[in-house]
Amino acid sequence: MHRTTVNLDEAVYRKVKRLARRRGRSLARTIEDLLRAALDGPPSAGRPAPPLHQRNGPRAGVEIADRERLYDLLEGR
């Protein structure tokens, strides 16, 4: 493991900090996860996307207004 210093725009920092809090992970781990996902490329086309809705509305735990969480669900996180 390598340690490094990264300079982040204040708005980016706040978004990543909120994401880390929602996921219950450290800021460093969240940044590492985001970098890994970006470097690994898009998810496999062979994997089906999870359903985000039921017959009568959104699946439990899906908040339509929370775009980041929707992306997490689509990516299987």
Instruction: Judge contact between 27 and 17, C-beta under 8 A.
Output: yes
Convert the pLDDT of each residue in 63-74 to its tens digit.
667 777 777 777
Domains, the chain, in order of start with CATH, read 1-42 (1.10.1220)
Instruction: Judge contact between 59 and 66, C-beta under 8 A.
Output: no
Instruction: Judge contact between 22 and 29, C-beta under 8 A.
Output: no
Q: State how far the Cα of 71 lies from the Cα of 37, in Å rounded to an integer.
A: 12
- Crossing angle between the packed helical segments 27-40 and 10-23, to the nearest 10 degrees: 100
Convert the pLDDT of each residue in 8-50 to its tens digit.
999 999 999 999 999 999 999 999 999 988 888 766 556 666 6
